[in-house]
Amino acid sequence: MSVQESSVDRDVRCPVVHFEVAPEREAGSYWEMGKELREKGEVLFNTLAQGFWVLTSYDTVKEMYQDGDTFSARVITAWNPEPHARMIPMNIDPPEHIQFRQLLNDWFSPSAIREHRENHRAICRRYVESFAESGSIDAVAEFAIRYPTEVFLDFVGMPKEDTEFLVEWVDEFFLGYSGRKPGLDASGAKKIKDYYQENLDKRRATPQAPRERDFIGHLLQSTVNPDGTGERPLSDSEVVDICFFLTIAGLDTTRAQLGWLLHHLATNPDDRKRLLDEPGLSVNAVEESLRYHGQVYGDGRVLTRDVEFRGCPMKEGDMVYGLASIASRSDKFEDPDTFKIDRKPSAHLGFAAGAHRCAGAHLARQELQLALEEWHRLIPNYEVDSIEPLMERGAQLSLLSLPLKWSVSDAVGD
Ligand code: HEM
């Protein structure tokens, strides 16, 4: 039983439960646990760590995202109210938030992302070509994390050779983030931040050309006016905190999504065949995966004031955990527990909502669509190569590994 009854020594007026977010479990267990949680109520109190509120319904989670005056993003890990690393723009509340968000909006706009499409396709193609004739691969370790990392580095104008250690540090960060190996998030964060500080110093000494391909250069030459006292350049620590957040927001999430999507297609040959016959459906398949495989299990916020929320007395400083993944499988959606490959794009919360809605959504979508196209071009038929159940990681849900195999005679070149 993953959700236990619990008790707490304060007035909460809602079911009190205890559930863990860290343990590795059989793949899909956290979404199953989400159903159990939803049945208990739309607002719960979890006695894990210092204790925090849990929102399970679509409307409560959406309200949390949209009401930044009440639910501040200053802290976003519900079980760790005192984080060691600042993330920009994530931890900045409106109205200052927009000053930092604008620095990303043009860089990550649909047209900017489209310009890189063929370049990113070439990166993806190189990966798939490198293993297509081997007949098997751990798709999470060897593809789903490496390809988006290299695309990201290319997109922000950093050397692709850095893929190796960024993959390692991001892994380290997330092992600690969920609490599976306490402390590792601090060491992972430090390594990533030091990396960007070094690159920033190098760029100050020798600016990169062309500037429109150099994200750090773009930040160094940008100005902000967060307190309304006049435009000023970003400080070094602001530049580093932006790059750090992009790294932890953009790489592990895409790895997880791609892993779940390939797993679905490996285990549902009818959907795979449909996609091979109608490649245009990759847009719907990606969107449906974002809804159905909500791998950002939930997002955290901190209460800015005492408030009565759905009848529950929440106090200033309390933490809240909105289960976005469970909200995206609620009855707001027709047949919510079925992956429908041709579902029309829906108002899922896979990229959240409100001011902090994912800034990298267009990049992520393009990466996922390219992955499907390039994978299926060379490897149209594949299956899971394991008799043991696959396992998932908690908090930011990802398959730990995805062993896939295929017939090499099926795998074709151009
Ligand atoms: C499938 C992949 C992805 C998923 C599911 C995803 C999901 C999310 C979610 C749920 C949030 C909101 C968090 C919150 O409100 O607490 C978010 C924010 C954000 N994401 Fe993503 N993300 C993905 C890929 C990316 C990529 C590739 C990038 C950039 C490289 C990125 C950059 C960001 C940024 C900068 C924010 C914060 C925006 C702000 O505070 O204004 N994400 N993402």
Mean pLDDT (the chain) is 94
C-alpha 359 to ligand 1 mean position (Å): 6
**Residues comprising the chain, all counted:** 414
**pLDDT confidence tier of residue 182, bands split at 50, 70 and 90:** confident
Closest CA to ligand 1's atom 6: 351
Phi-psi category of 393—alpha, beta or left, where left has phi over 0 and alpha has psi -120 to 50?
A: beta
Q: Of the residues 80, 156, 253, 325, which should be mutated to test ligand 1's pocket, given the most ligand atoms within 8 Å of the CB?
A: 253
Shortest-distance atom of ligand 1 to CA 97: 41
C-alpha 73 to ligand 1 mean position (Å): 13
Cβ distance 97 to 320 under 8 Å? no
In angstroms, the CA 277 to CA 206 distance is 50
Q: Is the CB of 241 under 6 A from ligand 1?
A: no
What is the dotted CATH code of the domain comprising 4-410? 1.10.630.10
DSSP designation for 140: I
Domain ranges of the chain: 4-410
Q: Is the CB of 88 under 6 A from ligand 1?
A: no
Spell out the residues 6+ positions from residue 245 whose beta carbon is closer than 8 angstroms to its own. Answer: 87, 88, 89, 90
Give tens-digit pLDDT for 19-54: 999 899 999 999 999 999 999 999 999 999 999 999
**pLDDT confidence tier of residue 414, bands split at 50, 70 and 90:** very low
C-alpha 104 to ligand 1 mean position (Å): 12
Q: Is the CB of 363 under 6 A from ligand 1?
A: yes
- For the chain, the first-to-last Cα distance in angstroms comes to 50
Q: pLDDT at residue 335 above 90?
A: yes
Shortest-distance atom of ligand 1 to CA 251: 27
In angstroms, the CA 401 to CA 393 distance is 10
Q: Is the CB of 353 under 6 A from ligand 1?
A: no
C-alpha 97 to ligand 1 mean position (Å): 15
Nearest to 165 by CA among 187, 139, 132: 187
Mean pLDDT for the stretch of residues 220-241 = 94
Cβ distance 347 to 290 under 8 Å? no
Closest CA to ligand 1's atom 17: 358
